Amino acid sequence: MKITKESTEHVKCLIIGSGPAGYTAAIYAARADLKPVLYTGIEPGGQLTQTTDVENFPGYPNGILGPDMMDEFKEQAERFGTQVRFGYASKVDFSDDVHKVEIDGSTVISADSVIIATGASAKWLGLPSEDKYSGFGVSACAVCDGFFYKGQEVAIVGAGDTAAEEATYLAKICSKVHMLVRRDEFRASKTMENRVLNTANIEIHYHTETKEVLGDGQVVTGVKVFNNQTMEEKVLDVTGFFVAIGHKPNTDIFKGFLEMDANGYIITQPDSTATNIKGVFASGDVQDSVYRQAVTAAGTGCMAALEAERYLAGIEQYEQSEQTQSAV
Ligand code: NDP
C-alpha cells in the first residue's frame, strides 16, 4: 500500500532488523560511509537473545551467551557510526525509486537503499511449560543446542523436513531421540522420512501430542505426552525438548512489493541479496529457509551492504552525469 504521508528524514541506507544479518550489514555499510540507520524491531538482537550459549559462531572459542553476542554486534556497528534506534517498521512503500518506511505506525523515513533483516520466528506449541523452560532444555534449533545433550535422551516435535533433519542430527549426538508426530504420517519428503525410519536410535511416536514439558524448576526433566486417539498419557524421561514445527519469516509488511515463495520467504537473485525491487536487499533468515544459522545470516548481511554500496555508487554516478549535462 502507498504511504501518502511525507517523510521527515532521508537516509542513504536504512536497515530493518537487529539480528546477526542486520548488525553485520550495519558494520559494513557504516565503514563504507553510507551512514546507516538501523531500526531494531520489537525484539532487539533477534532470535539469539532467546538462546543461552552460542558455541558455533567462529571467533568465540569458549562460547558466548546469545544476548551478550548481540550486544557486541551492536557495539561494533555503533563504533563505525551506525545509528541504532529502537523501533519497528510498520509499513513500507517501495513503489518509487526513493523507498518509504513507516516506523512505529507514525514517523515516515525515506531511503535510497533498504536492507531487510527482519528474520524469522520459530513456531512454538504455546504451552506455558514450554515457555518456562525455553533456553533451559527447550529449544527450537537442534544445530545450535543439540551438543548440550550429548549422550542424553531427547524429544523432538514435528514431522516435516526440519524435524526429520534435526532428529537425524540429534541421533548422532544423543543416546535416543523420541520423535513426536501428531498424525500417523510424516509431512517430510520420502527421502528424509526414510532417513529417520532407518536410524536405530530414533523412536517415532505417532498420533502423539505434548501435554506438558516437565522440569525441576531449573531445567527440563521430562515430557508428558498423550495419544490423540486413545487419550492415553505417558511420561518420557528426556532432558532436551526440541520444537521443529516450522518457522514464520517476518515478511508480512513487504507483501505486495517483494516476491516471496509459498512460505513467505523473500526471493533474492542467485548469489545475491537483491530483491525484485531496485535498492532493496534482503539478508538473513528472512530469505533463507535452509541454513538459518547466525553465521550464514551475518554472511548475507555483509553481502547486502556491499550490494547496497554498489547500487548507491551507481545512483551517485548517474546524478553527477545529469548535473554535468545540464551545466553544458
Ligand atoms: P512444515 O510446515 O513442512 O512442517 C511442520 C511439521 O510440524 C508438520 O509435520 C506439522 O504436522 C507439525 N506441526 C505443526 N504444528 C504442530 C503442533 N502444534 N503440534 C505438533 N506438530 C505440529 O515445516 P518445516 O520447518 O519442516 O519445513 C518448512 C519448509 O522448509 C518446507 O517446505 C520444507 O520442505 C523446507 N525444508 C527443506 C529442507 C531441506 O530441503 N533440506 C530442510 C528443512 C526444511 P502436520 O504434518 O500434522 O501438519
pLDDT at 145 over 80: yes
pLDDT bucket at 324, cuts 50 / 70 / 90: confident
Architecture of domain 9-121+247-327: 3-Layer(bba) Sandwich (3.50)
Residue with cell 548422532: 172
pLDDT at 261 over 90: yes
Looking at the chain, the whole-number percentage of residues with pLDDT higher than 90 is 84
- Angle subtended by helix axes 161-173 and 190-197, to nearest 10: 30
Domain 9-121+247-327 identical in fold to domain 128-243? yes
301 lines ligand 1 (CB under 6 A): no
Q: What is the pLDDT of residues 62-103, one digit of tens each?
A: 999 989 999 999 999 999 999 999 999 999 999 998 999 999
Most confident of 40-49, 156-165, 200-209: 200-209
Q: Which of 13, 144, 174, 302 is catalytic?
A: 144
Q: Where in 61-180 does DSSP place strands (E)?
A: 64-65, 83-85, 89-93, 99-103, 107-116, 120-122, 138-139, 153-157, 176-180
pLDDT at 162 over 90: no
Backbone angles phi, psi at 36, to 5 degrees: -70, 145
CA 212/CA 62 separation, integer angstroms: 33
158 lines ligand 1 (CB under 6 A): yes
Residue 127's pLDDT is 97
Model's pTM, two decimal places? 0.80
pLDDT at 323 over 90: no
Name the strand (E) or helix (H) holding 82. Answer: none
Q: Which of 93, 112, 141, 174 is catalytic?
A: 141
CA of 157 to the centre of ligand 1 (A): 10
Residue boundaries of the structural domains of the chain: 9-121+247-327, 128-243
Instruction: Dig out the grid coordinates for 72 from the structure.
Output: 557486541
Annotated catalytic residue 144: yes
Atom of ligand 1 nearest to the CA of 189: 34
**pLDDT, mean of residues 273-301:** 96
Give 272-284 as a 3 state SS string.
CCECCCCCEEECH
Atom of ligand 1 nearest to the CA of 163: 26
168 lines ligand 1 (CB under 6 A): no
Topology of domain 128-243 in CATH is FAD/NAD(P)-binding domain (3.50.50)
Residue 193's pLDDT is 96
pLDDT bucket at 328, cuts 50 / 70 / 90: low
Instruction: Dig out the grid coordinates for 160 from the structure.
Output: 516435516
Q: What is the pLDDT of residues 108-124, one digit of tens each?
A: 999 999 999 999 988 99
Q: What angle do CA 266, 291, 192 make, to 5 degrees?
A: 105
Looking at the chain, the whole-number percentage of residues with pLDDT higher than 70 is 99
Q: What is the pLDDT of residues 52-66, one digit of tens each?
A: 778 889 999 999 998
CA 75/CA 13 separation, integer angstroms: 19
CA 297/CA 290 separation, integer angstroms: 11
